[in-house]
Structure 1
Amino acid sequence: MTINFDINALAFLLSSAAEAEIRPRFRALGKDDIREKTSAIDLVTEADVAAERFIKAGMDAVLPGALFIGEESVAADPALLPKLADADLAVIVDPIDGTFNFAAGVPLFGVMASVVSGGETIAGVIYDPMGDDFVLAEKGAGAWQTGGHRPAARLKAADAVPLAEMTGMASTGFLPADKRAGIMANLAKVAFASNYRCAAHEYRTFAAGHVHFLMYNKLMPWDHLAGTLISQEAGAHAARFDGSPYLPRHVEGGLLIAPDKDSWEMMRREVFVLD
């Protein structure tokens, strides 16, 4: 299936949603504008809902006929998510990634969208509303940072380094309870591991070559499709924990991203031991 669309139009739609619905609400949310979804650390705000509504309303002009899958739309109708596996064309949106940070007034959040055609991710965009710039990629065309009144710059993942020199981001909260303590102890083998509570900025940091690995266990498509494609287009190796490719239909199986396959295998063997 041949898809003709303008990734810049998709990027502009995300930035327009942020200008209209997100930035005006930052550090201006009322008590009733923040609600829990599944727990006290899984939040949704009025900005999430309004931004997703804005993006959905503009999507027909960018990708006519595409299945729209947004994080908040799926929260309201879980039957929507399985439709992604069979969709000829779909757009997947996270209106605010890092909602916990946003609700706390921490300026570390992003807006993400990916395009899926025939079961594979063909484009991804991550917009930083506070920095007013994008990282984006189309399959086979490299990863780029653009916007903010600066020339577009091609992104390259970090070069491989020894295990003890590696730095990265590890989201350990969703690991199996019986494996979490061991993996957290194994992380002492690297130089440091952190967590921004915002996959959007973790992927941006990785694709720009500032850290050497990313690890996630929970794989909701709005959190990872755009960033994984951008990381791969920046030259990185990405795979689920069993070594298989990460595809849009996957919601489990973990995800590990590293500068190259050898680094990936070393991290899987030495740190992320789940067998």
Structure 2
Amino acid sequence: MAFSTADLADLVDILRRAAKDEIMPRFARLDPADVKVKSHASDFVTVADEAAERAIEAAARARFGDFLFVGEEAMERDPRLCDGLATAPRALVVDPIDGTFNFANGIPAFAVIAAIVEHGVTVAGAIYDPVRDDTVAALAGGGAHLLRADGVGTPLRVAAARPLAEMHGSISWAYAPEPLRSRLLAGMAGVWGAYNYRCGGQEFRLLAAGGAHFGYHHKLSPWDHAAGELIHREAGGHAAHVDGSPYAADDRDGGLLLAPDAASWAELRACLFD
């Protein structure tokens, strides 16, 4: 059965309840023992991440039945989970707190992300902001919307393309190896401005709402990018790997460049990478 508008509303409610029960009560109240370092000194996981992921999985299984669950924290325990994304009849991909660095440091810029992937194709995505208590979400073919807590939805549209010197957006370059890292930094001089919120979910929200023109993510993870790429596309944007090939939820490399349309994508690609 196809994932429906009602299903998406229920998924958003699951994210919202997990945030209210497990995330926001801990925001700006974490003890040092509640925060662990993962791959490097600014890559964290907190007790809130772990509790929220457990809550989302349990509630989603009660509502939707059997599916492959790919959570960021579950992936830490079993990296093979992503191997099933391309073929699973249905997968729920979750980042319980995107922007954990911000969350752990009391910065109110984080998000809860979920995507529904069927046979490798992202069919639904939601990015919930626990601070604002609203969600940007999309169904494949159904457009992208901002959903308020009272259920009212507003259609989203990406920003119109502008000359490069007038465009601004987010660029995640920290994981890029040399010489690409230096090339990206030099290429930023060709646009009006570039920034990084340390929260891809918030950057995708800004893109889909027309508040920024472009985004680039070097390191790809399905829990960070599958939902946002769908939402951006349904809001009218154009995205692809740096080599121009289309993005898929199980892609782990190749970068992801997002722009208002194909023409501005090509200009940005040349500015940042050539």
TM-score by length of 1: 0.97
> Which residue number corresponds to residue 129 of structure 1?
130
1:159 aligned partner: 160
Three-state SS of the structure 2 residue aligned to 1:136 is strand
Letter in 2 for 1:48: D
The alignment status of 1:83 with 2:67, answered yes or no, reads no
Could you tell me how far apart the structure 2 residues matched to 1:54 and 1:201 are? 22
Give the match for residue 173 of structure 1.
Answer: 174
Q: 3-state SS of the aligned residue for 1:271? A: helix
Q: CA deviation at 1:3?
A: 4.1
Q: C-alpha displacement at 1:28, in angstroms?
A: 0.7
Deviation at 1:59, TM superposition (A): 1.0
SS in 2 for 1:201: helix
Show CA shifts across 1:167-224 (max 9, x none): 0000011112212112211101111000000001000001000111000111100000
Aligned residue type for 2:168: T
Q: Check conservation: 2:3, 2:123, Cα contact below 8 A.
A: no
Letter in 2 for 1:41: S
Aligned-pair CA distance for 1:149: 4.0
TM-superposed deviation, 1:150: 7.3
**1:24 CA displacement:** 0.3
Which 10-residue stretch deviates more, 161-170 or 180-189? 180-189
Which residue number in structure 1 is paired with residue 100 of structure 2?
Answer: 99
Structure 2 unmatched runs, 5+: none
CA distance in 1, matches of 2:232, 2:25: 30
- On the 8 A contact 1:124/1:227 being kept in 2, the answer is yes
8 Å contact kept, 1:124–1:230: yes
The count of aligned residue pairs is 273
Q: Does 1:61 align with 2:62?
A: yes
Q: Distance in 2 between matches of 1:169 and 1:33?
A: 30
Q: Corresponding residue for 2:228?
A: 227
1:268 matched to which residue of 2? 269
Q: How far has the Cα of 1:272 moved from its partner?
A: 2.8
Q: Name 2:214's counterpart in structure 1.
A: 213
Correspondence for 1:26: 27
Cα distance in structure 2, aligned partners of 1:22 and 1:190: 36
Q: In the TM superposition, what is the alpha-carbon distance from 1:148 to its structure 2 partner?
A: 3.8
Q: Deviations over 1:215-247 (max 9, x none)?
A: 011110000000000000000001111111100
1:232-247 → structure 2 map (5 Å cutoff): 232-247=233-248
Q: How far 1:60 sits from its partner (Å)?
A: 1.6
Q: Distance in 2 between matches of 1:149 and 1:60?
A: 25
How far the C-alpha of 1:152 sits from its partner, in A, is 1.3
Match of 2:94, SS state, is strand
- Alignment gaps of 5+ in structure 1: none
Equivalents in 2 of 1:3, 1:200: separation in Å? 22
State how far apart, in whole Å, the 2-side matches of 1:91 and 1:197 are.
23
The answer to whether 1:198 aligns with 2:199 is yes
Q: Please list every run of at least 4 consecutive aligned residues from structure 1 whose deviation after the TM superposition is greater than 6 angstroms.
A: none
Distance 2:171 2:63 in 1: 34
Is the contact made by 2:67 and 2:90 (CA closer than 8 Å) also made in structure 1? yes
**Secondary structure of 1:158 counterpart:** coil
Quote the sequence identity (%): 48
Residue pair 1:155, 1:208 contacting (<8 A) in 2 also: yes
Question: 2:60 is paired with a residue of what secondary structure?
Answer: helix
State the shift of 1:151 in Å: 3.1
Q: What does the per-residue CA deviation read over 1:43-79, in whole Å, with 9 as the maximum and x for residues that have no partner? A: 0000000000000111123321111110000011112
Q: 1:17 to 1:165 in 2, by over 3 A?
A: same
**Do the aligned partners of residues 262 and 255 (structure 1) sit closer, same or farther apart at CA in structure 2, a change above 3 Å counting?**
same
What is aligned with 1:9?
A: 10
CA deviation digits over 1:25-54, x for unaligned, max 9?
Answer: 001111110001111111000000000000
Q: CA RMSD in A?
A: 1.2
Paired residue secondary structure (1:127): strand
Q: Which moved more, 1:145-154 or 1:232-241?
A: 145-154
Structure-2 separation of matches of 1:41 and 1:65: 35
